[in-house]
């Protein structure tokens, strides 16, 4: 698993899990891999995975039941919100980079729509 070592790894793991929730790979109520399993999967320190899970719980995306594991919490609505939130981040990055190349809003939108239509095939 590719991680950027220049940023805290636990936030990247959180991002990974949020993405999985957003696209439906992890459904509401589904159990997350155990800390140890995920650590072995992505090859990081289990404590880092633990920290990611705790933060996710603090932010309300997951809940841990003692002795049973960590589960995705929320409902359809929260998942949609998450998806939107992630999308918005991507768009903001895209727009910022296009702006740095001195493209205007219309061109930015047009290019995005054109590319979206193309790739859908």
Residues that bind other proteins (CB under 8 A): 3-10, 36, 39-40, 43-48, 51
Which CB sits closer to other proteins, 5 or 75?
A: 5
Nearest distance, CB of residue 68 and other proteins, angstroms? 18
When the beta carbons of 44 and 82 are compared against other proteins, the nearer one is 44
CB of 63 to other proteins, least distance (A): 21
* Residue 21 neighbours by CB under 8 Å, 6+ apart: 61, 72, 79, 82
CB of 39 or CB of 82, closer to other proteins: 39
Contact between 94 and 112 under an 8 Å Cβ cutoff? The reply is: yes
> Residue 9 or 82: which CB sits closer to other proteins?
9
Shortest distance, position 9 Cβ to other proteins, whole Å: 6
CB 61 to other proteins: min, Å: 19
Give long-range contacts, CB 8 A cutoff, 24+ apart: 41-50: 41/1, 42/1, 42/3, 42/13, 42/16, 43/1, 44/1, 44/3, 44/9, 44/13, 48/9, 48/10, 48/13, 49/10, 49/13
Tokens 């919100």 belong to residue = 81
């Amino acid at each position: 698993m590719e991680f950027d070592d220049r940023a805290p790894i636990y936030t990247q793991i959180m991002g990974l899990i949020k993405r999985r929730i957003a696209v439906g790979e992890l459904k509401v109520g589904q159990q997350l891999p155990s800390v140890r399993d995920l650590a072995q999967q992505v090859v990081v320190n289990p404590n880092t995975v633990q920290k990611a899970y705790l933060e996710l719980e603090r932010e309300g995306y997951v809940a841990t039941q003692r002795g049973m594991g960590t589960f995705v919490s929320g409902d359809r609505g929260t998942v949609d919100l998450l998806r939107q939130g992630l999308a918005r981040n991507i768009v903001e990055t895209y727009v910022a980079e296009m702006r740095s190349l001195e493209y205007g809003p219309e061109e930015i939108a047009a290019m995005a729509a054109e590319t979206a239509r193309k790739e859908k095939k």
